[in-house]
Amino acid sequence: MIKRTLLTLIGSMLMLTALAEGDGNNPVFTKPKFSGFAMASYQATFQDGNNSNSFDLRLVRASVEGRILNDFYYKIQGQINGNTTTMGSSPRLVDYFMEWQKLDFFRVKLGQFKRPFTYENPMNPIDQGFMGYSQPVSKLAGFSDRTGMHASNGRDIGLQFQGDFLKNSSGRNLLHYQVGVFNGQGINIKDVDERKDIIGGAWVMPIAGMRIGAFGWEGSYARKDAGHVVSLRQHRYAFSAEYKKGDLQLRTEYIHSTGRGFATTYQKSADGNDATIKTYTDKNGNTVDNDKADGIYALAIIPVVKDKLMAKARYDLYRPTASSVDAKSNYEVGLNYRFCKYLEVQTEYCFTHDRALANPDYSTVFVQLSIRY
């Protein structure tokens, strides 16, 4: 799988470069643009009986993008993590899509790409600004999803329509919509139950930099157990608000989910045949219902020195059973320093209160160096 993924990515890049260079007098192909980024980090956790600290090669990404016939935009992106022993962390394709962009109010995207769910999901890991995506987005948008799906970076395979319209007097669009049909199984996996996920959202932009929107998700996640398909229905919705101007970011999102998950996280092929339903046990040993989950986060990233130094804070709550019994809250503060547009260091202190643990309070220190190229 690793070899096939790398060969596919390299082969696609070489093919597109050859097409562009070999057709220099014909504007059918634009010359591909190559880019990417790398992230390395240090993390120390101070927890009773479970202290840890480690350097980590978080991830490296390489991508190629360009246009065909001017109206068709394509992107291919691969990812490599430090750990290559599992499906979730092995070298893999994360993006592989084409989008028809002739009309601002109606664009069509086909392939593998980000699910149109929440504001934070589509964000680049560096621009997101913190040591990781918020808990609600990570658990309920397809990163380390509560269903047991393999790590999919918020992506799936499908078809999406989106657009912006209703321009004001200054030419700025006031409304945006996006809706897509997806397999529901995450990246690089065919559909299992022959059902499709319908995911969409819409938002208004009353002033420049502000978005207020809502999202919905109806679908399923499935596995095969002894030849029988076990399909778990998923119903999710989110409410979002954001204001962004330059380096200033203010954002909050609430996400709710109804639907059960599998006990085993899909990391290798054999896990796809384990359809054991997950249950939750609280710190008192009681089994609690896992049909519902929800979470909310609110963050601020504020420039202290323009284009250089940013201060940040985030409140991040996730409730695996939509109750306070096993709620996990993160309180985070930190500083991000940008040496130039290609190099940034991010620092953070996080205090965690996890009610599912006998000793619920612990702290984490995080430092990350990010390079763009």
Residues 305-344: pLDDT tens digits? 999 999 999 999 999 999 998 899 999 999 999 999 999 9
- Structure confidence at residue 88 (pLDDT): 58
Contact 279, 287 (CB under 8 A): yes
Q: Residue 280: CA atoms inside 13 Å, Cβ hemisphere, count?
A: 23
Coil vs helix vs strand at 168: coil
13-110-270 Cα angle (round to 5):
80
pLDDT for res 155: 97
Please state the separation of Cα 120 from the chain's center in Å: 7
- Residue 48 dihedral angles phi and psi, to the nearest 5°: -55, 120
| Distance from the Cα of residue 373 to its chain's centroid | 21
Question: In the chain, how long is the greatest CA-to-CA distance?
Answer: 72
Structure tokens at 229: 């398909």
How buried is residue 253: exposed, middle or buried, by Cβ count under 10 Å (0-12/13-18/19+)?
Answer: buried
| pLDDT value of position 268 | 85
Q: Are 297 and 117 in contact (CB under 8 A)?
A: no
For the question of whether the overall pTM of this predicted structure is more than 0.95, the answer is no
- For the chain, which residues score pLDDT lower than 50? 1-2, 22
Domain 2-372 sits in CATH 2.40.160.10: yes
The two structure tokens encoding residue 323: 């109750």
Q: Parallel, antiparallel, or unpaired for β 248-258 and 173-182?
A: unpaired
Length of the chain measured in residues: 373
* 117 and 236 Cβ atoms separated by less than 8 Å: yes
Reduced DSSP (H G I as helix, E B as strand, rest coil) percent helix, strand, coil of the chain, to 5:
10, 55, 35
Spatial contact of 245 and 123, defined as CB atoms under 8 Å apart:
no
Please state, as a whole number, how many other Cβ atoms lie within 10 Å of the Cβ of residue 366.
Answer: 19
Tokens, residue 154 = 């918020």
